[in-house]
Structure 1
Amino acid sequence: MKLNRKLVAALAGAAVAPVLVVVGPTGVASAHGYVNAPASRQAQCAQHVVSCGAIQWEPQSVEGPKGLRSCNGGLPQFAELNDNNKGWRATKVGSTVNFTWTFTARHRTSNYEYYVGGTKVADVNGNGQQPPATVTHSVNLGGHTGRQTVLAIWNIADTGNAFYACVDLEVG
């Protein structure tokens, strides 16, 4: 009789374990985000403005270590984002531009950085806070005119990673 109780208990545990794994608590979601306005290169891929590979299905996934200065965040599967000859459309703007980030999963934020030609043109403090679903920053591009590529970076507060987006603009 004792053997049967142990067998029933073991079978019950084996039956319940997969259910607990499926409905139990999950870990913290990883952060994901990109600039969708003006349309970044990955947004152009997602909107099928430019023919692209895997990035068209996951424009929010250009995540790499902090400190990089590349459009693809160092990810070889998104290398085409670094290709300046791919036919990226440049949005016509004035000297001040509103960049809107869209977050599909949000993380506490250190800051947002904006670069033109390797020169930092803006640094916006994230105050270690979790952002809302969208965030817009007004950035003065200073004396930059003509066709420019802005590298926008979202630095995460609680990891060593950042998210990268390049935005092609016609400033004038």
Structure 2
Amino acid sequence: MRKKTKWYAGVLGLTTAGAIVLSSGAASSHGYTDLPISRQKLCANGTVTNCGDIQYEPQSVEGPKGFPAAGPADGQICNGGISRFAQLSAPKAPSGAAWPTTKVTGGQSYTFRWQFTAIHATTDFKYYVTKAGWNQNHNLARSDLNTTPFLTVPYNGQRPSSSTISHTGTLPSGLSGHHVIVAVWTIADTTNAFYSCDDVTF
């Protein structure tokens, strides 16, 4: 199955088309990103320890939809506004060390991947990234982000056809060092969305 991927790149000043690649695979009651690896997945696989409840349910970062106009409050974006997952929004991992990052290259193709444990009717998937010079010393806020998504994948109420889906496209250029990608899966028939924060190094 292939779908058109609509790109919104206001900062880059261009619009392109990308492919959605659907694949089958094992999922570890909802969803999270594992490419780039998300904070909740790092906790679930033991790379980051002392994470609390999120280590047992990385798929459950479900908060209000409508981001960035609505959704989780500033400082709670990465935990979806769920207090028992607050560790995910801290600027450092629970150990006090930096969150591990995935190395990426701006301006080059990258495949984002979601794992699902329950598949929902979907409005879209959107991807946001922090700005150059963002404040890394506090919990992530909207002011740290380019609030125009660099990638939007519309689903128009359809359900993903697999427990694993991938969106392949080009990363924003002009960034360097540590950044956070916020991936948002918006559900069509509820008031919620799922949030994943992925730490990357450009």
Give the TM-score range, shorter chain.
0.7 to 0.9
Q: 1:113 aligns with which of 87, 106, 126?
A: 126
- For 1:82 and 1:97, how far apart are their aligned partners in 2? 24
Deviation at 1:163, TM superposition (A): 0.2
Deviation at 1:122, TM superposition (A): 1.1
Who is 1:55 aligned against?
54
- For 2:80 and 2:197, how far apart are their aligned partners in 1? 10
Whether contact under 8 Å (1:114, 1:121) holds in the other structure is yes
Q: Which runs of 5+ in 1 are unaligned?
A: 1-30
Deviation string for 1:76-135 (max 9, x for gaps)?
A: 000110011113110112223211000000001100011112222111111311112111
Who is 2:185 aligned against?
154
Who is 2:101 aligned against?
90
Deviation at 1:39, TM superposition (A): 1.0
Who is 1:22 aligned against?
none
Greater Rg over alpha carbons, structure: 1
- For 1:98 and 1:74, how far apart are their aligned partners in 2? 27
- For 1:80 and 1:122, how far apart are their aligned partners in 2? 26
Deviation at 1:145, TM superposition (A): 2.5
The list of structure 1 runs, each at least 4 consecutive aligned residues, that deviate by more than 6 angstroms after superposition, is: none
Relative to structure 1, is the Cα distance of residues 79 and 34 closer, same or farther in structure 2, using a 3 angstrom cutoff? same
* TM-score normalised per structure 2: 0.67
* TM-score normalised per structure 1: 0.78
- For 1:115 and 1:63, how far apart are their aligned partners in 2? 17
Percent identical: 46
SS for the counterpart of 1:105 is: coil
- For 1:78 and 1:149, how far apart are their aligned partners in 2? 17
Select the structure with the greater relative contact order (CA < 8 A; seq sep ≥ 6): 2
Note if 1:138 corresponds to 2:168.
yes
Q: What amino acid sits opposite 2:85 in the alignment? A: F
Deviation string for 1:150-169 (max 9, x for gaps)?
A: 00000001111000000001
- For 2:169 and 2:192, how far apart are their aligned partners in 1? 23
Give the root-mean-square deviation of aligned CA atoms.
1.3
1:61-72 counterparts in 2 under 5 A? 61-66=60-65, 67=67, 68=71, 70-72=77-79
Q: What amino acid sits opposite 2:30 in the alignment? A: H
Q: Paired residues, what number?
A: 141
Q: Which runs of 5+ in 2 are unaligned?
A: 1-28, 131-144
Deviation string for 1:26-54 (max 9, x for gaps)?
A: xxxxx610001221000000011111110
Whether contact under 8 Å (1:36, 1:100) holds in the other structure is yes
Note if 1:103 corresponds to 2:116.
yes
